[in-house]
Amino acid sequence: MSTQAKKKESLTESVKTIVYALLIAGLFRTLFFQPFFIPSGSMKETMLIGDFLFVNKMSYGYSKWSCPKMVNFLCPISNRILGSEPERGDIVVFMHPTQKVEYVKRLVGLPGDKVQVTNGVVYINGQMSPQKDDGAFIEDYAQQGARGGFPRCVNPAPAQGSPCAKERFVETFPDGHSHTILNILNNNSVDNTATYTVPEDHYFFLGDNRDNSRDSRFSPPNDIGFVAKEYLVGKASRVIFSSSGKRMLYFWTWRKDRFFKKLQ
């Protein structure tokens, strides 16, 4: 075999290897786990801006949104298949019903539930979800993540680099699931809501950073409202890696205490 033929064969094998690797990676991402970066502070302190995690797609089965959104036409699935029902308290990644952008929130209301927020306290089917004072969540008042936004604080007008505080509570749902929530403002516009009745095959979501979350309390088309089952992508259960900087490669900004951190 000539040198030119060997080079051509080597190039062909390299291309085939790359194609196979991309196909395997695409299949893995579609069927099993999807990488996801936390871009906003709506789930603090459970999830921080810059947290990186893998979303378990096997938790709730598959819909057309299980495929990457650019090629979801390759998943000709009506509703969901091979799915199990999510549980109240799950941290869920889902596709925004109208904007087709992925969100992550906590599942609060199941199909048929009645959910209401009164004075900042969540009631599910008439039962209160009590909140126990857990001190304060403190972070630096500084630019965060790729967007470079500043956090919101209870203490007014902090100087850059100084402490930014939020009230912290442990919230417990009527079924016993407990998690941490944050409060910034009292008597906020969504601290008192109407009663939401969750439709069949839909879910009601809230962010843990209650005063800094666009969630099911806000109506579509611009906001989330109730989320249909078909838009669920998967369950988030553990942070793999976390960075407080603008770039993942800035190793000096890595949060060492959040490697493989389990989410509650």
Predicted local distance difference test score (pLDDT) of residue 9: 54
8 Å CB contact between 121 and 129: yes
Predicted local distance difference test score (pLDDT) of residue 74: 60
For 78-119, how does the pLDDT look when each residue is reduced to its tens digit (9 = 90+)?
677 767 889 999 999 998 888 888 999 999 999 999 999 999
For 210-247, how does the pLDDT look when each residue is reduced to its tens digit (9 = 90+)?
999 999 999 887 789 999 998 998 999 999 989 888 77
Domains located in the chain, CATH noted: 7-262 (2.10.109.10)
Q: How confident is the model at residue 167 (pLDDT cuts 50, 70, 90)?
A: very high
| Cα–Cα dist 81/101, whole Å | 22
Predicted local distance difference test score (pLDDT) of residue 146: 80
Handedness of CA 206, 208, 210, 214 (dihedral sign): negative
Establish whether the linkage from the previous residue to 45 is cis, with ω within 30° of 0: yes
Catalytic site includes residue 84? no
- Give the single-character DSSP code of 149: B
Q: How confident is the model at residue 73 (pLDDT cuts 50, 70, 90)?
A: low
Catalytic residue from among 44, 105, 235, 261: 105
Per the DSSP assignment, residues forming a β-bridge with 254 are 243
Mean pLDDT check: name the lowest of 60-69, 85-94, 150-159, 179-188.
60-69
8 Å CB contact between 202 and 227: yes
Residues 41-51: what's their mean pLDDT? 95
Predicted local distance difference test score (pLDDT) of residue 186: 79
Catalytic residue from among 40, 42, 59, 66: 42
Catalytic site includes residue 162? no
| Cα–Cα dist 20/92, whole Å | 31
Percent of the chain with pLDDT over 70: 82
